[in-house]
Each structure stands twice: as structure tokens, then as C-alpha cells.
Amino acid sequence: MTTAQSPVDLAVEPTPLALLLLGREADPKSERGVECPGDLPSPSDPDLVERARAAKEKLGDKVFVLGHHYQRDEVIQFADVTGDSFKLARDAAAKPEAEYIVFCGVHFMAESADILTTDDQKVVLPDLAAGCSMADMATAEQVAECWDVLTEAGIAEQVVPVSYMNSSADIKAFTGKHGGTICTSSNAKKALDWAFEQGEKVLFLPDQHLGRNTAVRDLGMSLDDCVVYNPHKPNGGLTVEELRAAKMILWRGHCSVHGRFSLDSVNDVRERIPGVNVLVHPECKHEVVAAADYVGSTEYIIKALEAAPAGSKWAIGTELNLVRRLANRFAPEGKEIVFLDKTVCFCSTMNRIDLPHLVWALESLAEGNLVNRIEVDKETESFAKLALERMLALP
Ligand code: SF4
């Protein structure tokens, strides 16, 4: 049955949140998107590949295209270099002659590239709506409030913040200002070792799973040493006693992609594929990591598969674009690679960067129009850089 829509219904405006999710409007304080231009080429345009190639050729050495591992194949084919977010930011910094850095990734990655590159280099994110749900889970206001809670509990001076690379520039700056460091999924153990030399407790932002997995698996702590600070509850939902007793104060954030894998996914794949090796990213839940055979960053996953013997079988718990690409790459070598879960699990915000957006960004730059520039203000940049430099100085 259909019902006629009243004139009142038609007049209803989408809510601000709906606009943000649709990639319109602006929310400068979060990772969520801002205005999308209306002149994007159509996704069905058969000439998109040729147009991207022509625009890139016209720009020559002036442009350097970075492709995160989780990007679609249609975008990755135009990347000058691929990698995880930190590697890509460093690659961009090593190319000072490139005036335009087109970052095919998400917002916080483009911010990190802007922080690490020179003032003359301009970082462009082809779709400003490509944010990261995990980075969005810790805003500057929430983290400042948390610090007040720790101060009132009388423990702020013992706490060293450690923030995952997957955080906004504001959170990186907070970390730098309060004597902390940034970490990646590859060096989280070293970062925690360093932090516990500086203080007695760590505030780990924003991914609770990476923090917990590193503390328990790599540092030998118990789950009871960790508490979860929920920014949506008064005092983080914790008592003063709980905060004082904890060694790891984990921010209640997670990756919506890696958080989907469950113990059932692991048990199920072991049943379906006898002898399978389960290899997962440390952003997965603790019970998934505990049940896996191997755990590591995307770079670790790629290296493990490169080194795997022919005939071996692998179930991978990370983003689907990467898993599919690796499965295709290693199939001729007789390595069987499957996705850990039965249901598809793309990073939806990463997938916002598609060929039409890339073509639009490249053609605009080739015509002399700087679009979708990501620029971190100087004060934020200087404190964020401090935190990043502490990471680079880790042994
Ligand atoms: S995979 Fe997870 S952490 Fe990475 S960009 Fe997507 S939501 Fe953020």
C-alpha cells in the first residue's frame, strides 16, 4: 500500500547528521565530511580511466598520488605509492618537489600528511566526506573533559597519553601537549614501553582494542589492568578508585570494520577450511586476537603472505579491498587466501574515494584549481608534530 506524501513531509529538511553522513555541510571539529562539489563526472562515464591518466600526465611531477591499502582497485591503479597511513605521509614528505599530494585515504591521513610535508606542498582529499569512524569517536572537547576527570582524580600527572595514528590532528596535538606519543599498529608495543618509562599509567586513544591487545599480549598485563573510559558517561563511567587502580585507561573507540570480526568468524573458518592460518589485525576485539594464529598490522599481513609457502591457507581479518587484492596476487603461487568473515566488510568511508572523485580532483588541479585542500593550523600542527617526533625517536 502506498500513501500520498503530504506537503509537510516534502518540506522536511534532512537533519544536520543526515547531511554530514551524505557528505554535505561542514563539521570542522570532526572527521565527518564537508561539502561535495556538484560537478563530479558520472561513475558510468567509460572515459574515466583515460581522463584520470591524462590529468595525471598533464600534472607530471607536480602531483604525487598516495593510495592507502584499503582503497578500491579503480583508485589504487593511479597511486604512485601504496601503504599504510604513516608510510604514505612519510613518502609524501620525501617528495618535496610534488606540489600536490592527492591522498586517496581518509581525512586523518591527509591531516598527517599535511603535518609532515612542507608548507609548499598542498594535500588534497578527493572526497571530503571520507572520514574515519574510529577517529570520530574521540573529539578534542571529549578528550579535554577526560583530562579534567583524570586531574580531579589526582592522577593526571602519572598519565602519559598514547594516541593511535588513526586520530584527528587535534588529538595528536593534545597528545604532544601532554607529553605523549603517537603509535601505529606496528610500533604500539614500543610506544607503550616508552610511555611506562615516563609515567605510571597510559591513556590510550582512540582504539580500545589496539590498546588492550598490546597491553595484554605484548606487555603481559592482565585484562583487569585495563579500564574503558566512555566519553558519553559522566566521569567516563568510572569511579575514582577504578581510575587510580588502572594501568591502561582505554578510550571507548573502535574500528567499525575490524570490530565486526567475532570469535564465531574464527571458529567457523577453522571448521570450513581445515589447516587454515588465521591472521588478524590488532584493531580486532581481544577475543578474536586471542583466538588467531598471527596478529599484525597491514604491512605485517602483507609480509606474512609474501613469505607463506605454496599450498598454505589463510583467513585474513582486515579490510576486504586489501584481502581481495592479496588473494588475487598470491593465487598464482598456490596460496589460498579468504576473508575471515562471511559477510562483506569494506571500510565505507575509505570507499567514498572512487574514480569520479579522483578524476575530478586531478582535472581540477590540472586546470589550476586547488580543491579539497586539507590544512592543519600552525598551533595544532606544532604540537601534533611533537607527538609524531616522539614516535619517530622510539628505539
Ligand atoms: S578501516 Fe577502520 S580505522 Fe581504518 S579508516 Fe576505516 S573505520 Fe577508520
CATH class belonging to 258-339? alpha beta
pLDDT score at 334: 97
Across all residues in the chain, what is the average pLDDT?
91
- The answer, yes or no, to whether any atom of ligand 1 lies below 6 A from the CB of 319, is yes
Residue 7, pLDDT above cutoff 50: no
Q: Are 86 and 165 spatial neighbours (Cβ–Cβ below 8 Å)?
A: yes
> Which pLDDT tens digit goes with each residue over 123-167?
999 999 999 999 999 999 999 999 999 999 999 999 999 999 999
pLDDT score at 132: 94
pLDDT score at 38: 57
3-state DSSP call for residue 79?
coil
d(C-alpha 274, C-alpha 305), whole Å? 18
348 Cα nearest atom in ligand 1: 6
The residue whose C-alpha atom lies closest to atom 6 belonging to ligand 1 is: 347
Mutate to test the pocket of ligand 1, among 349, 351, 353 (most ligand atoms within 8 A of CB): 349
Sheet bearing 277-280, strands edge to edge: 294-295, 277-280, 313-317, 336-339
pLDDT score at 208: 98
> Which pLDDT tens digit goes with each residue over 216-256?
999 999 999 999 999 999 999 999 999 999 999 999 999 99
Task: Please tell me the distance between residue 309's alpha carbon and the centre of ligand 1 in angstroms.
Answer: 30
- 37-131+350-376 folds as Rossmann fold (3.40.50)
- 135-254 folds as Rossmann fold (3.40.50)
- The answer, yes or no, to whether any atom of ligand 1 lies below 6 A from the CB of 121, is no
**Domain boundaries defined on the chain:** 37-131+350-376, 135-254, 258-339
The CA distances from residue 30 to 138, 146, 169, 390, in Å, are 9, 17, 10, 25
Question: Does this chain's domain 37-131+350-376 share its CATH topology with 135-254?
Answer: yes
pLDDT score at 33: 47
The residue whose C-alpha atom lies closest to atom 3 belonging to ligand 1 is: 255
Among 202, 232, 223, residue whose Cα is nearest residue 286: 223
> Which pLDDT tens digit goes with each residue over 37-66?
557 888 878 899 999 999 999 999 999 999
HEC string for 274-304: CCCEEEECCCCCHHHHHHCCEECCHHHHHHH
Packed helices 355-366 and 48-59: angle between N→C axes, nearest 10 degrees = 30
Task: Please tell me the distance between residue 70's alpha carbon and the centre of ligand 1 in angstroms.
Answer: 9
